[in-house]
Amino acid sequence: MHRRPGRVPAAPPTLADVAERAGVSRQTVSNAVNNPDLLRADTLHRVQQAIAELGYLPNRAARNLRTRASHLIGLRITPAQEGTANATMDRFVHSLVETSRDAGYHVLLFAGAPEDPLSGYDDLLRSTAVDAFVVTDTYLGNPQAAWLRSRRAPFVAFGRPWDDPAAGHPWVDVDGAAGCELATTHLLDRGHERVAWIGWRKDSFIGEDRRAGWSRAMRARGLPTAGLASRVEDTVGSGQEAAAALLAQSRPSAFVCASDTLAMGVLHTLAAQGLAPGRDVAVVGFDDSQVAQVVPPGLTSVRQPLEEVAVHVVRALEGLLARPAAAGESVLLAPTLAVRGSS
């Protein structure tokens, strides 16, 4: 069942419901209950009126909200994608857990219905089990950020607000365009002039951002890109098919891929055609997965600084949960290139 913002809750009213009715923050409601002397008379009256109208009964969990008493940060996890080499989230979660622990927090992992990107969030908000959230799915159309803002729930995003550049919430991201420009320049410096691109469908903001880095590097050398690009689904099989088509039609000497998953597909195609990666055709992936590190002869790949991402995410969370709260800044980090035998 899909939950929609603004729906009248069937469960007993919560502190967040009072805040929404009164048009104030949840911290203000908490102050009205526990420290009314901190509020102006008109604000206190408005909150008390909302409490009376909703029949809100403060409880211990609600009194602890936004005071860091729970010391828990919520992070929704999604099922692993079959047929891919993507383990980026595993690295990020590990880094986030370690960094949060050093800051005095613990990460609470929760799952939700795959068809409902909001499931799980509402339950935690109503139980006041967490102090804040980390949002990782910032793809086009994902409603999490807007919904959390509407509920006045503190959160930090790992990923830019692609469909809402004016969004005011703090976020941390890695510059994918810079990473793919770095990868392409690496191949160009090694003498390749026909460098092909295999990326994701055009409706992927992240994929198009990474493609822009490849295109920028090629244009900077005055090299053509026509006929050298393919947009596919992020699976090994799609990478195989795209590589076979490009090799037959455009005969590139190197590939830059939007993910290690697609790069693995290229390696499969090269093996099937008796071509050696790094010797006959160069290949570069993105994400520096564990597969990239162990597959012969080693896959050159763009590595995201996920440990640094976690540090900035936790720093922003600490600012949001400070008293008074401090507005977090948006941070765009530069990736590096792990060079191995495939290039």
Domain layout of the chain by residue ranges: 15-64, 72-174+306-333, 176-303
Q: Which amino acid is at 233?
A: E
pLDDT for residue 336: 98
What percent of the chain has pLDDT above 70?
A: 89
Residue 277 backbone phi and psi in degrees, to 5 = -65, 135
Answer yes or no: is pLDDT of 144 > 80: yes
pLDDT band at 58 (very low <50, low <70, confident <90, very high): low
Answer yes or no: is pLDDT of 6 > 80: no
Please give the mean pLDDT across all residues of the chain. 87
Query: Under the phi-then-psi rule, with left for phi > 0, alpha for psi from -120 to 50, and beta for the rest, what region is 172?
Result: beta
Residues 229-250 have a mean pLDDT of 96
pLDDT band at 2 (very low <50, low <70, confident <90, very high): very low
Task: Please provide the DSSP assignment of 55-120 as one string.
Answer: T----HHHHHTTTTSS-EEEEE--PPPTT----HHHHHHHHHHHHHHHTT-EEEEE---TT-TTTT
Q: What is the pLDDT of residues 314-324, one digit of tens each?
A: 999 999 888 77
The single-letter DSSP state of residue 277 is: B
Residues 254-265 have a mean pLDDT of 97
CATH number of the domain at 72-174+306-333, please? 3.40.50.2300
Domain 72-174+306-333 matches domain 176-303 at the CATH topology level: yes
pLDDT for residue 86: 66
Residues 319-338 have a mean pLDDT of 87
Residue 247's contacts (CB-CB under 8 Å, 6 or more residues apart) are 269, 273, 281
What percent of the chain has pLDDT above 90?
A: 56
Answer yes or no: is pLDDT of 255 > 90: yes
Predicted TM-score (pTM) of the model is: 0.77
**256: three-class secondary structure by DSSP:** strand
pLDDT for residue 126: 75
Q: Which two tokens stand for residue 20?
A: 């929404």
Answer yes or no: is pLDDT of 188 > 70: yes
Q: What is the pLDDT of residues 263-316, one digit of tens each?
A: 999 999 999 999 999 999 999 999 999 899 999 999 999 999 999 999 999 999
CATH number of the domain at 176-303, please? 3.40.50.2300
3 or 290: which carries more pLDDT confidence? 290
Answer yes or no: is pLDDT of 32 > 80: yes
Q: What is the pLDDT of residues 62-113, one digit of tens each?
A: 444 444 457 899 999 876 665 555 677 888 999 999 999 888 899 999 887 7
CATH number of the domain at 15-64, please? 1.10.260.40
Residue 327 backbone phi and psi in degrees, to 5 = -65, 130
